[in-house]
Chains A and B, each alone.
Chain A
Amino acid sequence: MKPAPFTYHRPADLDSLVATMADLGDEAKLLAGGQSLVPLLALRLASPTHLVDMSRVLDLRAVDVHEAGESADAGYLVVGANATQRDVELDLRIAARVPLLADALPLIAHPQIRNRGTVCGSIAHADPAAELPAVALALDARIVVRSARGTRRIDASDFFLSYLETALEPDDVVVAVEFPLAAPHTGAAFHEISRRHGDFAMAGVAASLTLDHDGRIVDARLALSGVASIPLRAAAAEAGLVGAAPTDEAFLAASSEATALLDPPDDIHATAAYRKHIAGVLVRRALRAAHERALAGFEQS
């Protein structure tokens, strides 16, 4: 047993969870899957006075596909805060509806970690080398937040502020993350390079392409992980791809555009120059894979 002593709270429903967080403020940490927080406690990099276990709030476990309609979450996959990464990975609807998420999930650590770690916890934790923050950013996901002040939605583009820092207030609870359902003829791929299978990657790329009936790109999404203190969206590269034919030349141009201004961290895992180089290679690979998958979708329909 290595964590410093703390006081444990286990609210039984969402209202008492929100009330407990409002009471305790920045003295408390939410405990979701614990797969990032418990290591931090064990290493005493964190020693909060209170831990608030959210696992008993059963309605936060749901994973729902909301087709187009009137409600605010129509057209989204809604992943509740207690849904584990593995729950979503094994959900047979995800590959067709949010293919980028389906491709990224198996790259997170190992099944032993994904069996407890949550999708929302990974996004709330905001490790820049993690897969899901880049997925959320690429897809314009929305983070649904609840506190005593009410419920609000934060766009992924406004959510990640710095290393492990987000737009969340200390008493905010992420109750769900909403991922837009993919348009028809969309292909997606998450590619990364890590030293060993399951390790945090040195760099990663989330790519998604949507084609029109002539095979031209009508929507392009690109986000990079592990190359800055937050996941980065490659907006200029995306703009260059829209309207273009999906050729190797177009993907090469996107890769130069996406990595031109990168200034990645230099650490024991990789040098800055190496990270920048593999980021460029991964952009090309991910775009090529996304394109092939979009074409495969055509053949089926």
Chain B
Amino acid sequence: MNSAPGTPHEEAPGVRSQDVRIRVNGEDREAYVEVRTTLADVLRDEFRLTGTHLGCEHGVCGACTVLIDGRAVRSCLVFAVQLDGTDASVVTVEGLGTPEAMHPVQQAFYEAMSFQCGYCTPGFVCSTVAFLDEWRASGRPALDERDLRVALSGNLCRCTGYQSIVDGLALAVERIIGDETTTDAAITTATIITTTTE
């Protein structure tokens, strides 16, 4: 993150609106916005990536969770200008998979019916992808149900009662363990993250 030099119009005396250039789902995107515009609003209103949802807009609910350089982040607590001109790579739920080719986490959530209205789902999916990626990177230590619940605790759901979401995560974990012990193949979890952040 924050390594490339910014664009020239950023120097004091400061700006109210400016062009922002951000890498989203592998593409460089641009928009002219007020500096108070959050990343969530730029994704939704400028880039029309409406899979990222807004619940509370102050950091509590997790509906707006996206990945920045592979890490889960609240997009309602980041101003788009903060990412402008950096080499940060944003991935939204749209960047993870398509209805025809779902990401393994989306597939697991689909099979475990980890949603009802679906409002919270993109946030849960992004948080889960980041969690599983970090878990794999740290050598896949044993996980119990409490670990799974803690992993999901930064996201709120008003419908499911959570059990089906825990089941979805457990299914995704099971598949990763199964795949890696039988074929030793690299899992597709977060492929997009690793390909866009290096």
Contacts and interface: CB of A to CB of B under 8 A. Distances in A.
A1 B73 CA distance: 17
A42 B76 contact: yes
B72 A8 contact: no
A41 to B, nearest CB: 8
B57 interface: yes
A58 interface: yes
A58 B3 contact: yes
A153 interface: no
Nearest to B3: A58
Interface stretch (B10-18, B24-32, B172-180): B10-18
A9 B12 contact: yes
Contact of A11 (B12, B15, B36, B68): B12
Given A50-B14, A109-B154, A115 B81 contact: no
Given A5-B36, A112-B62, A115-B72, A197 B41 contact: no
Contacts of B12: 9, 11, 16, 20, 23
- Tell me if B's interface is mostly helix, strand, loop or mixed: mixed
Given A12-B5, A113-B59, A113-B154, A53 B82 contact: yes
A214 B126 CA distance: 51
Q: Taking each of A39, A56, A112, which has the highest tally of chain B beta carbons within 10 Å of its own beta carbon? A: A112
A1 B81 CA distance: 14
Contact of A111 (B10, B34, B131): B131
Given A38-B77, A42-B76, A6 B57 contact: no
Interface size class of B (residues with CB under 8 A): 35 or more
Contact of A43 (B37, B58, B150): B58
Given A6-B35, A8-B81, A58-B3, A112 B154 contact: yes
Interface in B47-87: 57-59, 62, 65, 68, 71-74, 76-79, 81-82
Contacts of B18: 8
A1 to B, nearest CB: 5
A1 B59 contact: no
A170 interface: no
B78 A34 contact: yes
Contacts of A269: none
B154 A6 contact: no
A7 interface: yes
A9 B77 contact: no
A254 B82 CA distance: 47
A35 interface: yes
8 contacts: A1-B41, A6-B36, A8-B16, A8-B79, A10-B10, A38-B79, A50-B14, A115-B72
Given A38-B76, A112-B73, 6 more contacts: A9-B12, A12-B5, A31-B82, A35-B59, A111-B131, A113-B77
